Structure 1
Amino acid sequence: MEVILKQDVENLGFVFDVVNVKPGYGRNYLIPKGLAELATPSAKKQLNETLEARAAEEKANIDAANELIEKIKAVELKISAKVGEGDKLFGSVNNGDIAEALKAKGVQIEKKHIKISGT
């Protein structure tokens, strides 16, 4: 019996996989618990459409991320801060400060997406 997994199932497969299982396992466990659905031709067609839509969405997200990367590479930031004796910085420069500076340069990015290394 062929089924399409709706969720990851340990030792069987991942979501959207089409797998062969014993009929009793499919009818009595996977399908009633909502872990899988019967792999009918219409379900397979719908699965292909879903996978194509996800692939297109993923490609659009990757293109948008690459475009954002290019914008960020072109920007040079200067963040002013108070310093004390021996050029010691008062406070810190954090991802919120960087997000604000990027916004002022026309690059919109959420501060949670900014990672600062070396801390």
Structure 2
Amino acid sequence: MAHDLDLDGWVRLYTTSSVAQLDNLIAAWHFKHECDAVRPFCAIRHVYGRQKVRAWGGPGKGATEPWLVPAADTELDHATWTDFVRDAAMSRVWAGVNFTKTAERSVEFGMQFGGMAYEFVQRHVEGDVED
């Protein structure tokens, strides 16, 4: 487990995580630029203009005006990293930044970077790289 790592282990974990995140970010921005897809908030603005729209107010509350939904602290608990990743992706849906299918695909897309980052860092730690 991560809490049993020595300093060297923590450095490797942090480096691997950072490489994976950066590679994922670069690839994601490449596709955002290439596809130039619409976002939910832009689609709503395009369809409704400056008209007031009603939004989902939460469980059991039905539709309401978006600014009437009270803000409240929310505590999240994730049993696994997979649960955390899924909620992180879905938080972009909840915020109106992505469509559901985009969030689901982003999880699948991002999964490839962890293994590649681990192999990259291991090659460098072991000195198995060319100049």
The answer, yes or no, to whether TM exceeds 0.5 is no
TM-score (norm 1): 0.36
TM-score (norm 2): 0.33
Q: Which protein is bigger by CA-based radius of gyration?
A: 1
RCO higher in structure (CA 8 A, sep ≥6): 2
Higher strand proportion, which one? 1
Higher helix proportion, which one? 2
